[in-house]
Amino acid sequence: MRAISAGRTATFDVCALGCCCWDYLGIIPRYPALDEKVAMSELSMQGGGQAGTGIAAVARLGGRAAIIGRIGDDEFGRHIRESFEADGVDTRWLAAVPGATSQFAFCAIDQASGQRTIFYIHGTKGKFAPEDLDCAALLDCHCLLVDGHHNVAAAAVVRWAREAGVPVVLDLERPQEEDEALVSGASHPVVPERFALEFTGEGDVEAAGRAMLALGPEVVVITRGPEGCLAFTAEGVIHQPALPVAPIVDTTGAGDVFHGAFAYGIALGYELRENLRFASAVAALKCRALGGRAGIPTMAEVREFLR
């Protein structure tokens, strides 16, 4: 299957609309009880957020990437912008809202498993409305990556993209308003298992995948952490196992990076099976380092890993 947009010229491989966050991440020997202290063995500060980390992955892999998002005009906002620029992500549509604060997260990483617990605050930068967005600029790409952060604007963008024939990789985390419009309008919803079960009300992942596909997407992917992912199409189901890496230092952002790589694979015209394996490799390699972005590989590292 070729990308819907194959042959069309565009300024960017992937444009991403959604959450841009500043993350503090620490590794802890075990999760503490209330009123207890534990010492961290490592501390890192880096950019985060679903769309933000996804688009950083596109740029790290060599893709032409742009972010459409909101930050505050605070110190965290400046770090968010600088980290995008360091990866080569175009930030001309990253809006700093005067007097507002940026989204921030503290992530505690369990040393033994690499699993993360996240505490976050939205900040006061607010959400985009559809009229805030430049439709022509957003669609000037081979694939759009959209998360649920700016949910009302995101639903409008998904509609514009469908009319223009631009594929949309959709990342949703927890059920909220507009989810049904987003899932039915996007060509490629890629969601974690817990979202798929909650959104559809189904008891198992296969039924949830089929129920989401029935809403209108071309492909639905359900990710299951270390168990890999399942892709649902009209032709059937494909299982892609997670690819082994050792040691697993931190799984924070594995899903975000999977989404970015999957969107870039669509922009490159990868066939579905090839793209699932590619995105799984990029997400697995990400888990080698602390934080959502530090471990994102280059294309040369992915090719070497997949050999």
Interface contacts to Mg ion, rule CB under 5 A: 255
Among residues 226, 238, 269, 274, the one that binds ligand ATP under rule CB under 6 A: 226
74, interface contact from Mg ion, ligand ATP, none, CB < 5-8 Å by kind: none
* Alpha carbons 302 and 305: distance in angstroms, whole number: 5
How many residues belong to the chain? 307
Q: Which does 253 bind (CB under 5 to 8 A by kind): ligand ATP, Mg ion, none?
A: ligand ATP
172 near 195, Cβ under 8 Å? yes
The span of 11-19, 34-42, 178-186, 283-291 binding ligand ATP (CB under 6 A) equals: 283-291
Binding residue (CB under 6 A) for ligand ATP from 78, 122, 159, 224: 224
Per-residue buried b or exposed e for 144-174, using 16+ beta carbons within 10 Å of the residue's own CB: bbbbbbbbebbbbbbebbbebebbbbbbbbe
Calpha distance 227→214 (Å, rounded):
24
Residue ranges in 200-219 that form contacts with ligand ATP under rule CB under 6 A = none
229-233 sheet: strands from edge to edge: 90-97, 65-72, 12-17, 141-147, 168-171, 188-192, 220-223, 229-233, 236-240
Phi, psi of 26 (to 5 degrees): -135, 145
| 146 scored as a contact of ligand ATP (CB under 6 A) | no
Q: How far apart are CA 7 and CA 173, in angstroms?
A: 32
Contact window for ligand ATP (CB under 6 A) among 32-40, 119-127, 179-187, 246-254: 246-254
Instruction: Work out which of 284, 290, 296, 302 binds ligand ATP, going by CB under 6 A.
Output: 284
Minimum CB distance to Mg ion, residue 50 (Å): 6
Confirm or reject binding of residue 258 to ligand ATP (CB under 6 A): yes
> Which member of 48, 49, 77, 192 binds ligand ATP (CB under 6 A)?
192
Secondary structure element (H or E) that encloses residue 154, with its range: helix 151-164
Q: Which of 71, 256, 261, 297 binds ligand ATP (CB under 6 A)?
A: 256
What φ, ψ does residue 21 adopt, rounded to 5°? -135, 160
By CB under 6 A, how many residues form the interface with ligand ATP? 22
Can you tell me which of 26, 62, 130, 225 binds ligand ATP, judged by CB under 6 A?
A: 225
User: CA-to-CA distance for 165 and 149, rounded, in angstroms?
Assistant: 23
Of residues 27 and 229, the one with the C-beta less far from ligand ATP: 229
How near is the Cβ of 10 to ligand ATP at its closest, in Å? 26
Stretch touching ligand ATP by CB under 6 A, among 70-78, 99-107, 153-161, 239-247: 239-247
Residue closest to 250 by CA, chosen among 118, 122, 138, 131: 118
Q: Which residues bind ligand ATP (CB under 6 A)?
A: 192, 223-226, 228-229, 242-243, 245, 248, 251-256, 258, 280, 283-284, 287
